[in-house]
Structure 1
Amino acid sequence: MRKEVLFSGFGGQGVILASVILGRAAAVYEGLYAVQTQAYGPESRGGASKAEVVISDEPIDYPKTIHPDYAVFFSQEAYSKYLHTVKEGAKVIVEKDLVPHRDPEFEKKLDLIALPLTEIAEETTGLSLTMNILTLGVLTEWTGLVSRDAIEKAVLDAVPHGTEGINRRALLKGVELGEKAKNGEL
């Protein structure tokens, strides 16, 4: 079982942190093999950012995604650049407000949900920057990549001390949305 996950957006959205947390949840709390890689533009905030996580139940021979089974697009640039790399039938999450120009024909080949993730994070926690944690909740609950317990432990391990409560709220809101997606309610 090899599962490939692509996170992409722009610097400052927490793309890399989200991928590190998912990799930690898989490797540390699920006992799976996981490799996380990342690439980002020369600007730390605002530049293109991409992170990949490969999760497997056996040693991983190639650490990059080839045709992602799962993808998250937080920006138009990321969507435009990487959408066509995902495999047919992939589960894809799109930040609806930041990706206004979409490819409806290609999207028919995917299992895709588009949500105003930044707005939902802001309403849930008062901070738009918790959007990445909220999205991890959506992704993991919808896909079953890792257990709810594993992702929660990994989030609480990774976020700055003193922000555990707010990040847990974001995660649980994401889990709620992921459950709705799993039940076909989104």
Structure 2
Amino acid sequence: MSHRFEIRVAGSGGQGVILAAVILGEAAALYTEGLNSVQSQAYGPEARGGASKSEVVYDRAEIDYPKAAHPNLQVILTQKAADQYSHDSAKGATVIFDDFFVTDPPKLDADVYLLPIVKT
């Protein structure tokens, strides 16, 4: 039985977006028996400051598609990422925006939180 759970972390290069997803993916695979995880990433050619996103998919069943189609959890660190990615969240998802860099969070059918992520 599939219990797929999708996470997306999005922002700009240099914010630790990819590292965060790698840690989430490895932790689940190592410390939760019977849970599979895959991590994927996409980023622009810039070393710092370009668009960046990373996704983790968890499932007890075999994972046949490694990308997040409708994330259950999103952590979004920039306004550009908010505009580009937040609208494909799953119904009832949790979306966490950085409260400094996301100045106009989109209206969503999700539990939305604004937190000082980059400041801390």
TM-score by length of 2: 0.94
**Structure whose CA Rg is larger:** 1
Deviation, 1:102, is: 1.9
Measured in 1, the distance between the counterparts of 2:9 and 2:37 equals: 15
Which ranges of structure 1 fall in alignment gaps of 5 or more residues?
A: 122-186
Partner in structure 1 of residue 117 of structure 2: 117
Partner in structure 1 of residue 16 of structure 2: 14
Measured in 1, the distance between the counterparts of 2:101 and 2:54 equals: 18
Amino acid aligned to 1:14: G
> 1 or 2 for the larger relative contact order (CA 8 Å, sep ≥6)?
2
Q: Is the 8 A contact 2:97 2:105 kept in 1?
A: no
TM-score by length of 1: 0.61
TM-superposition CA deviations, 1:61-97 (whole Å, max 9, x none) = 1111111111010111100000111112101111010
| Map 1:30-109 → 2, pairs under 5 A | 30-31=32-33, 32-103=35-106, 106-107=107-108, 109=109
Q: Secondary structure at the match of 2:118?
A: helix
Q: Is the 8 A contact 2:75 2:96 kept in 1?
A: yes
Count of residue correspondences: 117
Structure 1: 4+ residue segments shifted above 2 A: none
Deviation, 1:101, is: 1.6
Measured in 2, the distance between the counterparts of 1:33 and 1:48 equals: 27
Deviation, 1:11, is: 0.3
Measured in 2, the distance between the counterparts of 1:56 and 1:101 equals: 33
Which ranges of structure 2 fall in alignment gaps of 5 or more residues?
A: none
Amino acid aligned to 1:112: V
Q: Hey, which of these two has a bigger chunk of strand by percent?
A: 2
Instruction: Quote the RMSD (CA, aligned, Å).
Output: 0.9
What is the percent sequence identity of the aligned residues? 49
| Map 1:146-165 → 2, pairs under 5 A | none
